Amino acid sequence: MTDSLNIIIGGVQGYVGRELLRLVLQHPYLHLTGILARKSQQELHQELPSIANLKIPVLATEDMLKPNVVCDVLLLATPTESSMEWVNLFKECSFKIIDLSGAFR
């Protein structure tokens, strides 16, 4: 495999989200292109200063619906309610969604 996948992670504030972030950053074929959050970039950087050093954009829900979003896979490490909302909102988008909550078991 020589092509990398563009990844966006939703839910980096939680334990699973932080582990996903760590794994994606270490993986040779995954490229983190954004973080999906309900908080602003400034709020998220204050809560998790290590993210500010990465220079990765924090995206709002409406940013994900734009045609120029660079995403092959959206990884969700969010509470069940958020996952259900976001999967339903993004189901028509071109990227794949992997949900780690209990929403779609």
**pLDDT tens figures, 28-81:** 999 999 999 999 889 988 888 888 888 899 999 999 999 899 999 999 999 999
Listing DSSP states for 54-77 in one string gives TTPPEE-HHHHTSTT---SEEEE-
The token pair at 78 is 């969010």
What's the chain's Rg over C-alpha atoms? 13
The pLDDT of residue 73 is 97
The pLDDT of residue 49 is 86
Mean pLDDT confidence for 13-24: 94
The pLDDT of residue 2 is 60
Q: What is the pTM of this model?
A: 0.92
Which residue shows structure tokens 């582990």? 19
N-term to C-term CA, the chain: 29
Q: ∠ CA 18-19-24 to the nearest 5 degrees? A: 100
